[in-house]
C-alpha cells in the first residue's frame, strides 16, 4: 500500500518562500504548494515549474505546484507563512506592523478555512507580532503555531564562531533565547566546540563580537545586497518543517507560546507570549518547551526581551483591538 506523502504549503512566492520550496524539495520532505496572490500567480507557477524541472537532476520526486487558489492548500500538514512586505525607508515600525498584520491576518483566515488541521510556521516580520496575529486569527492551539527566528539566529552565531575559529560548523553547539534580532539573549556559557566550552577557545571580546554580529546579521546582508536575506531564513524554516514532518523530536529554538517558562509571567489579561525558546518539535508541533535555569544576568536579558515582545504585541492590539 502506498504511503501518503506529506503536504507542505508555502504562502508567499518571494525569495524566502521560493527558497523554502527549494530546500523542501531537495530534502524530498513531501509535495509542495507554492501560493501567492492572484496578481503574482504567474510567479508562483513559474517558480514551481522551474523547481519541478530540477527533479530529474537532483533526484527528487516531490510534486511542486504553484497557485493563487487557497483551495489547493487543503490537506496541508505544514503551512509556512512568508507573506509580507519588508520595511522600507521612511516606514515606521507601526507602519510595518499595520501593513503586515493585515497581510498575515488575511492569510491566516484562509489557512483556518482550508487547512484547519495544519501546523503553521510564521516567517513574516516583525516576527513575534506576526506569530501572535496568526495564533489569534486561526484560533489554532498554541502548539500548532510557531515562528522561525531562533533557528536562523543560532545558525548565524554558529557560522560566525566557525569563521573565527577555523573549525567545522558541525562541531559547534549553541543556543540563543528571546526575541528575533536585537532582542536575542546570548548564552555563551552553553556554547561549545565538540564539548569544549567556547570560553576556553576564544576571549570574551571575540565571543561577544560574534553575538553582536548574529544580532545584526540580517542588516549586514541588506547593506551588502540591498534586500533581505533568504537562503538562511529559508533553511532555518525547513529545518523546523523537517522536524515536524518526520516527527524527529528535535530541539530547535523557535518562537513558541510561553506562560510560565523562563520567568515569563502571564500579562494583565492572563496571557503569555510567543518568544524564542528551545522547543521540541515533532508531529504535534511544539510538543514541549525545554526549560533550564538561567543565570541572573541571563534572566535580566530575557526579561527585557520578553518586555519588548509584549510591547510589540501591544502595538498590534492597539492598531487592531479585535486581536486582543
Per-residue pLDDT, 92: 63
Q: From CA 235, how far away is CA 289, in angstroms rounded?
A: 22
DSSP classification of residue 189: G
User: For 7-17, what is the mean pLDDT?
Assistant: 97
Residue 32: pLDDT above 70? Answer: yes
| 7-147 and 149-324 in the same fold | no
Per-residue pLDDT, 96: 80
Per-residue model confidence as pLDDT tens digits over 37-96 = 999 999 999 999 999 999 999 999 999 999 999 999 999 999 999 998 876 666 666 678
User: Any catalytic annotation for residue 180?
Assistant: yes
Sheet holding 172-173, edge to edge: 172-173, 192-193, 196-197
Per-residue model confidence as pLDDT tens digits over 293-323 = 999 999 999 999 999 999 989 999 998 999 9
Per-residue pLDDT, 247: 98
DSSP classification of residue 75: T
Q: Is 138 left (phi over 0), alpha (psi -120 to 50) or beta?
A: alpha
Angstrom distances, CA of residue 186 to CA of 149, 151, 158, 210, 268: 14, 13, 12, 10, 28
- Domain chopping of the chain, boundaries: 7-147, 149-324
Helices (H), the chain: 15-26, 41-52, 55-58, 93-114, 127-138, 150-165, 204-215, 217-225, 231-245, 296-319
Helix or strand or coil: residue 204?
helix
Q: Which CATH class is domain 149-324?
A: alpha beta
Per-residue pLDDT, 2: 59
- Average pLDDT in the chain: 92
Per-residue pLDDT, 90: 62
Active-site position among 22, 180, 194, 308? 180
| CATH code for the part of the protein at 7-147 | 3.40.50.720
Per-residue pLDDT, 21: 98
Q: Tell me the whole-structure pTM to 2 decimals.
A: 0.95
Per-residue model confidence as pLDDT tens digits over 102-129 = 999 999 999 999 999 999 999 998 898 9
Q: From CA 220, how far away is CA 232, in angstroms rounded?
A: 13
Amino acid at each position: 500500500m502506498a504511503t501518503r506523502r506529506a503536504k507542505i504549503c508555502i504562502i508567499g512566492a518571494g525569495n524566502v518562500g521560493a527558497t523554502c520550496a527549494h530546500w523542501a524539495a531537495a530534502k524530498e520532505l513531501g509535495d509542495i504548494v507554492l501560493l501567492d496572490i492572484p496578481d503574482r500567480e504567474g510567479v508562483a507557477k513559474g517558480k514551481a515549474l522551474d523547481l519541478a524541472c530540477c527533479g530529474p537532476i537532483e533526484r527528487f520526486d516531490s510534486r511542486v505546484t504553484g497557485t493563487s487558489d487557497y483551495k489547493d492548500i487543503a490537506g496541508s500538514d505544514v503551512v509556512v507563512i512568508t507573506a509580507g512586505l519588508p520595511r522600507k525607508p521612511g516606514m515606521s515600525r507601526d507602519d510595518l506592523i499595520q501593513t503586515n498584520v493585515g497581510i498575515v491576518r488575511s492569510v491566516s483566515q484562509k489557512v483556518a478555512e482550508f487547512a484547519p488541521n495544519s501546523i503553521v510556521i510564521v516567517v513574516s516580520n516583525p516576527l513575534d507580532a506576526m506569530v501572535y496575529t496568526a495564533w489569534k486569527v486561526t484560533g489554532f492551539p498554541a502548539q500548532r503555531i510557531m515562528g522561525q527566528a531562533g533557528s536562523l539566529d543560532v545558525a548565524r552565531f554558529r557560522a560566525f564562531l566557525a569563521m573565527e575559529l577555523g573549525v567545522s560548523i558541525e562541531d559547534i553547539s549553541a543556543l540563543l533565547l528571546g526575541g528575533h534580532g536585537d532582542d536575542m539573549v546570548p548564552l555563551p556559557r552553553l556554547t561549545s566546540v565538540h564539548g569544549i566550552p567556547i570560553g576556553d577557545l576564544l576571549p570574551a571580546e571575540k565571543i561577544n563580537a560574534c553575538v553582536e554580529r548574529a544580532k545584526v546579521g540580517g542588516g549586514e546582508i541588506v547593506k551588502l545586497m540591498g534586500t533581505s536575506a533568504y537562503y538562511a531564513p529559508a533553511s532555518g524554516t525547513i529545518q523546523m518543517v523537517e522536524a515536524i514532518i518526520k516527527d524527529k523530536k528535535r530541539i530547535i529554538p523557535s518562537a513558541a507560546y510561553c506562560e510560565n517558562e523562563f520567568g515569563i509571567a502571564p500579562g494583565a489579561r492572563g496571557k503569555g507570549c510567543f518568544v524564542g525558546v528551545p522547543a521540541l518539535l515533532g508531529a504535534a508541533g511544539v510538543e514541549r518547551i525545554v526549560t533550564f535555569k538561567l543565570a541572573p544576568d541571563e534572566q535580566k536579558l530575557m526579561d527585557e526581551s520578553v518586555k519588548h515582545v509584549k510591547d510589540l504585541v501591544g502595538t498590534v492590539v492597539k492598531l487592531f483591538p479585535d486581536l486582543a
